[in-house]
Amino acid sequence: MSTIQSSPLEALHLRLGARMVPFAGWNMPVQYTSIMDEHAAVRTAAGIFDISHMGQFIVSGPGALDWLNRMLANNVAKLEAGQGQYSFLLNERGGVIDDLIVYRTAEDAFFLVVNASMIDKDFAWMAKHQPEDVAFSNESALWAGMAVQGPESAAVFAKALPGHGLPPRNGIARIAAGGGEVVVCRTGYTGEDGFEFFCAAGEGEAWFEKFIAAGAKACGLGARDTLRLEMCYPLNGNDLSPERTPIEAGLGFFVDLDKGDFIGREVLAKQKADGPALKLAALEYTDKGAPPRAHYPLLDAAGNVVSELSSGVLSPSTGKGIAMAYVPAALAKPGTALQVDVRGRLFPAKVVKKPFYKPAAAKA
C-alpha cells in the first residue's frame, strides 16, 4: 500500500494539538504534550491512545474453532465465550507473522485484533488456509479503536459508561451504548489495568472525547512504546519477526504444543526440546548513558559484537537505559555483562529478568 492512511480520529488529534507521524502506514499521533508526561499519566492515573490503526477480523462458523487452532499457536479451545488470549500467527518455519489477541465472542464466533502493519498480510495468509465451513472477514475499516490504560481506567470507564461493567481481565463484552454497539476488551499494551474499546468509526471521536472528559489524558504512540518496552511486551517488526519464533522470544507461555497440530508446531517443539540457540534478552544499563535504541550493536564483555538491539529507550519510569536483543542462549542469563555501542561509545549493561518495571496493579 503506497498511500498513508488516516485514523477516523485524525481531526480530533489535530484539534488536541497532537504531533502526527507516519507509523505502520498510518498517520498517527506520536505525542500531544510530552512523552514523559503521557507515560507518567498512564503509570499513575489514566491515559487514552488511539488504536484505530489496528485491525479487526471476524471468524465464525462450525469450523471456526478448529481452523483457528490450526492457524494460531495458543490453544483457542481453552477460551469460554467472553474470554480472550494472546497468540501468534506463525509461518511454516515457526517464525512470527504477527502477534494478536483472539477473543471468543460466542461458541462459534471469534474477534481478532491484529497489528496495523500486518492487516493485509495476516488476512491474505489466513484466507489462503480458509476452509469452507468458516466465514472470515476483515472489518478493520469499520472500527475506531482506543485504549484506556492506567490505574484509574476503571473509574474512567464507570464515568463514561455509567451502569455498565468492565469485563474481567482478558475478557470481552459487547455493550449497547451511545445508540450503537461497542466492544470492550479488558486488555492493553502498558502493563497497567485498562481496556481497549472498539466502536463504529464514525462514533470514535465522540467516545474519545468522552473518555478524556472522564479523566483520561490523550497519549500518543511515543508513550505507548516506552510503556510497552518497560513491560518487555514485544513490538512486531522490532522484537518479533518471521525469522524468530515465540520460543526464542521467550513467549513459550503463549504456545500450546500439546493441543494438536498447528502451522509452525514442529519447529517450535524441536526448539523447546533442544533449547533455542538464541533468546530475546532484556538488558539494563548498569550506569547512566546515552539512550539505547533499536539496531545499535550489542557487544559481549570482551568486546565482540554478538547482536544488535531490537528495541531500546531510556526508561521514563526508572531513568535507566533499557533494551531487548536476541543473544546466544549462553549470554541470556540474568547478570550477564554486555555492552551497548552508541556512536562508538560503549555503555555497560547487564541482562535482567523481565519485565523492567512492575506496575502497581501487578504489585498488589
Partner 1 sequence: MNVPQNLRYNASHEWVLVEGDTATVGISDHAQEELTDVVFVELPALGKTVDVGDPTAVVESVKAASDIYAPVSGEVVEVNPAVEADPSLVNTDPYGKGWIFKLKIKDAGQLDTLLDAAGYESMIG
Among 49-57, 126-134, 143-151, 311-319, which window interacts with partner 1 (CB under 8 A)?
Answer: 311-319
CA–CA distance, 150 with 200 (Å, rounded to integer): 24
User: According to DSSP H, which parts of 129-220 are helical?
Assistant: 153-160, 204-213
Q: Residue for cell digits 471456526?
A: 64
* Contact code string over 321-360 relative to partner 1, x by CB under 8 A: ----------------------x-x---------------
Asked if 113 and 195 count as a contact pair (C-beta separation under 8 A), the reply is no
- Kindly indicate which of the ranges 64-72, 129-137, 171-179, 290-298 contains the residues binding partner 1, using the contact rule CB under 8 A: 290-298
219 and 30 in contact (C-beta within 8 Å)? no
Query: Which of residues 34, 44, 137, 318 is near partner 1 by CB under 8 A?
Result: 34
Closest separation between CB of residue 51 and partner 1, Å? Answer: 19
- What are the DSSP calls for 255-324, one per residue? --TTSS--TTHHHHHHHHHH--SEEEEEEEESS--SPP-TT-EEEETTS-EEEEEEEEEE-TTT-SEEEE
Q: In the complex, what is the shortest distance from the CB of residue 32 to partner 1, in angstroms, rounded to a whole number?
A: 11
Select from 79, 116, 247, 313 the one that contacts partner 1 (CB under 8 A): 313
The least distance separating partner 1 from the CB of residue 29, rounded to whole angstroms, comes to: 13
Q: Which residue's C-alpha cell is 455509567?
A: 162
Q: Distance between CA 18 and CA 218 in Å, rounded?
A: 9
Shortest Å distance, C-beta 27 to partner 1: 16
291 binds partner 1 (CB under 8 A): yes
- Report the nearest approach of partner 1 to the CB of residue 341 (Å): 13
List the interface residues with partner 1, window 147-206 (CB under 8 A).
none
List the one residue out of 222, 235, 230 whose CA is nearest residue 282: 230
Residue 160 vs residues 171, 205, 254, 309, 326: alpha-carbon distances, Å: 19, 14, 33, 41, 42
Residues in contact with partner 1, counted by CB under 8 A, come to a total of 16
Measured CA to CA, the distance from residue 159 to residue 75 in angstroms comes to 35
d(CA 292, CA 298): 10
DSSP 3-state of 333: coil
For residue 60 the three cell numbers come to 465464525
- The smaller minimum CB distance to partner 1, of residues 70 and 293, is found at 293
Q: Binding pattern to partner 1, positions 215-254, x when CB under 8 A?
A: -------x---x----------------------------
Stretch that binds partner 1, among 4-12, 107-115, 130-138, 283-291 (CB under 8 A): 283-291
Tell whether residue 293 is a contact of partner 1 (CB under 8 A): yes
Stretch near partner 1 under the rule CB under 8 A, chosen from 33-41, 74-82, 102-110, 118-126: 33-41
Between 51 and 313, whose beta carbon lies closer to partner 1? 313
User: How far apart are alpha carbons 101 and 160 in whole angstroms?
Assistant: 25
Write the binding mask 52 to 91 for partner 1: x where contact by CB under 8 A, - elsewhere.
----------------------------------------
Residues making contact with partner 1 (CB under 8 A)? 30-31, 34-36, 222, 226, 289-291, 293, 313-314, 316, 343, 345
